[in-house]
């Protein structure tokens, strides 16, 4: 179950994002997730935006990979305000199912702070879990809307951003920086054209376990990168590809289809 949640949360945290605009938007995207070159999951993301508020729904089917990643399903939803220069979440939910076990998270936000959160089954506070403190629940958003890039141009400035994220279990921060320009050329993907490559630094704050190999690996990794592509001429940018180096091989997600 731990490996499945990691795959689902990693994919959600880094890959599942779509933009919102001042005009009405009805966008759909498809992604394929691979580990070590083997397909382990497919993902669909739907966004509806009426110009002032958004609803973002994600569904994933995980085929699994032996004892590494369990097969199952994941669904996530984020909703809130789409005015201003980014999405501002008011509610987030996550539901995963694998091997007959379920995991559910519900979080509410208000003004960039956590209003309430519930996790089922509850996370057991072992001795090595870093305590969540109230101050860690301020200045945060959910991990579906955290990677939206609204406005700007397709250049190095696109990567100049930081975010605090609360998953319902953990608080962590991310910082992105420019890593280069590139060109998406594969006809098998959902976009061909120029992309901006951003590297991502992951900094765990609280709620995680100090003995967690996954958390420690992500914190030490210098191979978390996102290629951003423009969503047509809307002035918004979405992940074209995400790559995370792991000791089991590269965890990668690629945009395979897009309509808006």
Q: Which two tokens stand for residue 123?
A: 């996370």
Burial 175-204 (b: 16+ CB within 10 A, else e): ebeebeeeebeeeebbbeeebbbbbbebeb
How far is residue 91 from each of residues 56, 111, 156, measured CA to CA in Å?
10, 12, 31
Average pLDDT, rounded, for the chain: 86
Please count the residues of the chain.
260
- Between these two residues, 83 and 166, which has the higher pLDDT value? 166
Number of structural domains found in the chain: 1
| Structural domain that includes position 208 | 2-259
Question: Residue 260: what pLDDT?
Answer: 83
Write the pLDDT tens digit of every residue in 54-98. 888 999 998 865 545 668 899 999 999 988 777 899 999 999 998
Give one DSSP letter per residue of 163-231, joined into a string: EEEE-SS-EEEEEEEEEEEEEE--TTSS--EEEEEEEEEEEEEESSBTT-HHHHHHHH-S-EEEEEEE-
d(CA 203, CA 222): 12
Phi, then psi, of 214 in degrees rounded to 5:
-65, -50
Question: Residue 18: what pLDDT?
Answer: 41
Write the pLDDT tens digit of every residue in 86-138. 789 999 999 999 888 999 999 999 999 999 999 999 998 888 999 999 999 99
């Amino acid at each position: 179950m731990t490996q499945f949640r990691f795959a689902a949360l990693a994919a959600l945290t880094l890959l599942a994002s779509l933009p919102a605009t001042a005009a009405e938007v009805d966008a759909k995207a498809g992604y394929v997730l691979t580990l070590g070159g083997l397909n382990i999951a497919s993902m669909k993301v739907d966004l509806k935006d009426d110009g002032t508020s958004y609803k973002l729904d994600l569904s994933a089917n995980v085929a699994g990979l032996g004892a590494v990643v369990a097969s199952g399903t994941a669904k996530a939803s984020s909703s809130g305000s789409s005015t201003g220069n980014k999405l501002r979440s008011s509610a987030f939910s996550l539901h995963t199912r694998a091997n007959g076990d379920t995991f559910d998270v519900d979080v509410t936000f208000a003004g960039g702070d956590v209003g309430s959160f519930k996790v089922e089954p509850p996370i057991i506070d072992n001795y090595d879990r870093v305590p969540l403190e109230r101050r860690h629940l301020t200045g945060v958003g959910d991990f579906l809307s955290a990677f939206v890039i609204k406005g700007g141009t397709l250049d190095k400035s696109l990567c100049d951003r930081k975010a605090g994220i609360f998953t319902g279990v953990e608080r962590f921060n991310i910082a992105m920086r420019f890593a280069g320009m590139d060109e998406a050329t594969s006809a098998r993907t959902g976009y061909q054209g120029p992309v901006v490559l951003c590297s991502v630094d992951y900094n765990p704050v609280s709620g995680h376990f100090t003995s967690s190999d996954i958390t420690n690996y992500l914190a030490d990794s210098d191979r978390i990168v996102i290629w951003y592509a423009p969503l047509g001429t809307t002035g918004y940018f979405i992940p074209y590809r995400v790559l995370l180096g792991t000791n089991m091989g590269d965890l990668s997600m690629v945009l395979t289809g897009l309509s808006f």
